[in-house]
Amino acid sequence: MAVITIVGAGMMGSALAFPARENGNEVRIVGTHLDREIIEGCLANNRHPKFDRDFPEGISFYQIEDLEKGLDGVDMVIGGVSSFGVDWFGDNVLPVIPENVTVLTVTKGLMDTEDGKLLTYPDLWKKKLDSMGKKLSLNAVGGPCTSYELVAHDQTQVAFCGDDLETLKYLKKLMETDYYHVSITTDVVGIESAVALKNGYALGVALTIGVNQKNFGDDTLHFNSQAGLFGQALKEMYRLLEFQGAATLDNLGVGIGDLYVTVYGGRTRLVGILLGKGLNIDEAKAELQGVTLESLVVAERVARAIRINIEKGTLKAEDFPVLLHIDDIICKKAPVDIPWDAFTFVK
């Protein structure tokens, strides 16, 4: 048995408490400064307010002021913050984690640089830790996994990535169950890039749903257009993983699985449908007031890096018609006009 502390009481971090506890580990959940009401609800009811199932018995809950207590004697920390909490996690949590403790983060995303590079969050955190003279084993999880389905024990396939296979085997042993299946790989760039890139492309596929609802009615299902854009998304994600220097393009499958599940549920689908129906980005955000839209941030960052590399001549605009159009919709309030002809090819 290990002691596992989850920092961040969001839906995904909290969902991982289920396989962690059901594997016989001692599990603690520490809320961030934004999670006070969630932790209060968990303390009162042993249930996350967004889930329809109680937590397994024996999980402890802490407010952020008790972070030190939550980390006492810990063997593994799961970072459960969203991409908007990356800097906060790096500044406030990583520095107080003992160096012998292994970290696994659920945060998906990429950060762009002024020279057009795309950095994974583990890379960003390593740079921050290096500046402190501190080392931690930083690992990440990616793959097609929605929190509420994990809580429901739906069969789930994910990948843990990190620098050391033995560490990853240890994390797999702690977390894997008969419904939570874990692959392991040292291709951090490949996994982290693939699962981040799917955000923008899931929004793109959802655009076609909104367009068809506007043209044919909300009750009409059209799959040709969704599939056509999905196929183009696969090609663009492939090119971006090559650009990122992924160790193996086999890990594209993790991102494509994540793309599939994101298209069929969640916040990214909602905003994409609204945009496809004709709302501009400000109107869509207003319609979904209070909903965190990480997909927009990731898409904008990746598109910004692509445009810089197009200017450098290292990438070609014609290879990324979907993502560049999504960027125009988000940043320039361009109307949805999916460039179908740009997807065709002659071989």
Residues marked as catalytic: 198
User: Taking the alpha carbons of 229, 232, 234, 236 in that order, is the dihedral positive or negative?
Assistant: negative
* Exposed e or buried b per residue across 217-236, where buried means at least 16 C-beta atoms within 10 angstroms of its C-beta: eeeeeeeebbeebbebbeeb
Cα-based distances in Å from 251 to 161, 186, 241, 246:
11, 11, 9, 8
The β-bridge partners of 76 are 4, 102
User: Taking the alpha carbons of 329, 333, 336, 338 in that order, is the dihedral positive or negative?
Assistant: negative
Altogether, the residues listed in the chain come to a count of 347
For residue 342, the SS3 value is helix
Helix, strand, coil % over all residues of the chain, rounded to 5: 55, 15, 35
Cα–Cα dist 106/108, whole Å: 6
26-30/76-79 β-pairing:
unpaired
Both tokens assigned to 219: 């009750």
* Exposed e or buried b per residue across 311-335, where buried means at least 16 C-beta atoms within 10 angstroms of its C-beta: eeeebeeebbbbbbbbbebbeeeee
Q: Give the count of alpha carbons within 13 A of 315, CB side only.
A: 24
